[in-house]
Structure 1
Amino acid sequence: MKKCLSLLLAALMLAAVLTGCGGNPSTEETDTPADTGTEQAAQTNWSVSSVTGTGTELKFRTGGDQGTYYGFGSVLAQAITTNGNGTKVTAVVSNGSQDNIEQMQMNVAQLGFVQSDVMSYAYNGERLFEGFPYADFSTVAALYMEQVQIVTCDPDIKSVADLEGKTVSIGASGSGVYYNALDILAAYDLTEDDINAQYQDFGASADALQDGKIDAAFVVAGAPTVAITTLATAKDTYLVGLDDEHIAKLQESSPYYEEYIIPEGTYEGVPETKTVAVVATVIARDDVSEDDVYNICYTIFENMDNLAHDKAGELDVEFASGVTAVPYHAGAAKYFAEKGFDVPTK
């Protein structure tokens, strides 16, 4: 009998150990440590909306874990969950703008970070979404500019024209970065066939640059970007700038690009660089509660100084309300109206 009890106890202990050593979650399910249990008390010195949220968990698809979307998105999700008066948001690692929209279409996620150009493609059924428009989403807010950063460790690559014949990462095939790369190459009369194209995300591109496996990479994200910051601390790194003539040519065919100066010191040893940028925008499914979307906007813009991320310094209510490509969600429109800005809705 004692032998049987001993064997049973041993089996139970082994089961407990195996349970505690479960594998890591997949990228698809990597969440921020936002509260998923009882409601947390709002933090001191935070302004809290008087509107009560639904308490329904809203999945917020962001981007890769070395990109700005995930870093800033995690900060926003935690802030909203803690201080959003019942609105619950969980940030999830993703493959970026197109993936976020597709997952929202399937209701795997209810919120997403997207580039403004990709958002327009989806809404109008163009490029990435040619023949398959998806319009059951609305704008929540424009948050900041995300720069097209052409990164290299080769000091002889000084212009986009110098990329001809080089091995260049241009983002995942069909991604927003991919189309940004094609647009910029075209402004310099180059095509995908004129380079040895590689299709890598930010982290893989930075690793390949450090290992000398590629000559340059296109990264579209808010600067500073973790992958580039890490690379610049390990190896001499350069940003390839765009000149006025080619920026003007680019804007003729793609007016959603805006000229942008990346300041000196953004990355170690990298001087001021002229490039272009698109807008990082948060969108929501149309069926997300008006109260929850209102609380998302309220928590972000009434507490900008409390958000612990570099991009929080770029938040601006007027800029946030300036999207014209896709109408705003009713909850966002309610918030912006209170701040004196009328925005288009469906």
Structure 2
Amino acid sequence: MKKSRVLVMLAVVALLASSMVFAAGAQETGAKAQKTVINFPTAATTGAVYPLGAAMCNLWNTKLPNVRASAQASAGGIANLNMLADGEAQLGVAVTSIMYESFNGIGSFEGRPNPNLRVMIGLYSNPNQVVVTDNSGIDSLADLAGKRFASGAPGSTTEVETSIHLNTSGIRYPDDLRVQYVGFTEAIDLMRNKQLDGAWIMAGIPNAAVTEMLSTAGGKLLNLDESLIGKLQEKYPWYGAYTIPAGTYPGQDSDVLTSAIKLTICTDARVDDDVIYELTKSFWENFEELKATQAPLKKVNPKDAVKDLAGLPIHEGAARYYREIGLL
């Protein structure tokens, strides 16, 4: 009899314990359900953008208890924008040129517009850098006609930039030039060997290839005319004017005017306004901490966060923060 009572009591205790565990699990599950999951595709792991995305997610996970963010490697901007459009991502990294195409359903996104695409953070600009040799006689894009010029690998971003700029300036690309379809490294060697008059490079500053060309191959940076940049903006609203400051490169004694495209953190209009507000605010309020470890942020001016965005809409949550700090 006593043994039976003991067994019954043990069964009751086990049942109560089981109930407590279930209750605790339900509470934990409920707590987890309150968190907003942020999937954040960035770029290849070999570049600087993926580590930046990972650092941002770590910041948000530390500072914002209602967010669980994770950065992932990706094939880059077009892939990121497709994931946003399909609802597979809540944030992404992309330049404004392909964002404009995605929003409007043109170019690489022909027939597939994404009206929900929004800007959250404008980061830094990638400027076009045109390097020509001192003895080439080239002082403007118009002087490139008939010259030996490296426009980048076929279909590359660099070649696209060469084509857009030269055709806008009145030089028929590639017909009016003696084009070499080579990358930065090959262009350096050709310029050193006096087999090349110039090269087009689109990259953040300072760029190692440009440094090499100016310091070892007798190169100089070419200014773009303000009127050309104005013409570009009429047809391609993602371009902004950009100044490469004097002293950025060896022997560069004066500022150089060129065009540039903005890199952004983009998002979807369907992501909750309050969540985007908190993500945006947390990023900028901890910007100096992030900048200390993330090289790409050293080129970012917080005051330019909402400039040169190709007329793309800013997410309402982010816009709320920018209005609070006087940028909108």
TM-score (norm 1): 0.65
Counterparts of 2:210 and 2:119, CA distance in 1: 29
Instruction: State how far apart, in whole Å, the 2-side matches of 1:305 and 1:294 are.
Output: 19
Shift of 1:267: 2.2
- The one-letter code sitting in structure 2 at the alignment partner of 1:220 is M
Is 1:321 paired with 2:303?
no
1:126 is matched with 106
Separation in structure 2 between the aligned mates of residue 58 and residue 222 of structure 1, nearest angstrom: 26
Residue aligned with 1:270, SS: coil
Question: Are residues 1:137 and 2:117 paired?
Answer: yes
**Is 1:140–1:328's contact at 8 Å kept on the other side of the alignment?**
yes
For residues 120 and 325 of structure 1, the distance between their equivalents in structure 2, rounded to whole angstroms, comes to: 8
More helix, by proportion: 2
Amino-acid identity (%)? 26
Q: How does 1:206-245 map to 2 (within 5 A)?
A: 206-212=184-190, 216-229=198-211, 235-245=217-227
Q: Deviations over 1:197-216 (max 9, x none)?
A: 5666xxxx221112318654
Q: Distance in 2 between matches of 1:108 and 1:120?
A: 20
Moved over 6 A (4+): none
State TM-score, norm by structure 2.
Answer: 0.68
The one of 329, 333, 338 aligned to 2:319: 333
After the TM superposition, which of the residue ranges 114-123 and 248-257 deviates more from structure 2? 248-257
Aligned residue number for residue 93 of structure 2: 113
* Paired residue type of 2:186: A
Contact 1:171 1:218 in 2 (8 A): no
**Alpha-carbon distance in 1 for matches of 2:92, 2:197:** 32
Mapped to 1, the partners of 2:53 and 2:284 lie a distance apart of 11
Q: Is the 8 A contact 2:152 2:159 kept in 1?
A: yes
Alpha-carbon shift at residue 155 of structure 1 (Å): 4.7
Is 1:180 the counterpart of 2:158 in the alignment?
no
How many residues align? The count is: 280
Question: Structure 2, unaligned stretches of length 5 or more?
Answer: 1-32
1:22 match: none
After TM superposition, the structure 1 = structure 2 runs for residues 139-154 of structure 1, keeping only pairs within 5 Å, are 139-152=119-132
Higher mean C-alpha displacement, 228-237 vs 281-290 = 228-237
Map 1:148-297; keep pairs closer than 5 Å: 148-152=128-132, 155-156=135-136, 157-165=138-146, 166-170=148-152, 173=155, 177-194=158-175, 195-197=177-179, 205-212=183-190, 216-229=198-211, 235-271=217-253, 272-288=255-271, 290=273, 293-297=276-280
SS of match in other structure, 2:174: helix
Structure 1 289/244 Cα, relative in aligned 2: closer, same or farther at 3 Å? closer
Q: 1:101 to 1:273 in 2, by over 3 A?
A: same
- Kept in 1, the 8 Å contact 2:206–2:249? The answer is yes
RMSD of the TM alignment (CA)?
Answer: 3.7
The structural deviation recorded for 1:334 is: 4.1
Instruction: Tell me what 1:25 maps to.
Output: none
Runs of 5+ unmatched residues, structure 1: 1-51
Q: Which string of whole-angstrom CA distances, capped at 9 and with x for unpartnered residues, describes residues 118-160 of structure 1?
A: 2212211233333332334211122233312223467524432
How far has the Cα of 1:262 moved from its partner? 0.7
Q: Cα offset for 1:324?
A: 6.5
The verdict on how the C-alpha distance between 1:119 and 1:331 changes in structure 2, with shifts beyond 3 A counting, is same
Shift of 1:336: 2.8
Q: CA deviation at 1:245?
A: 4.2
What are the Cα deviations for residues 195-250 of structure 1, in whole angstroms up to 9, with x where unaligned?
A: 355666xxxx2211123186544333332235545665665543222134433443
8 A Cα contact 2:150 2:187, kept in partner: no
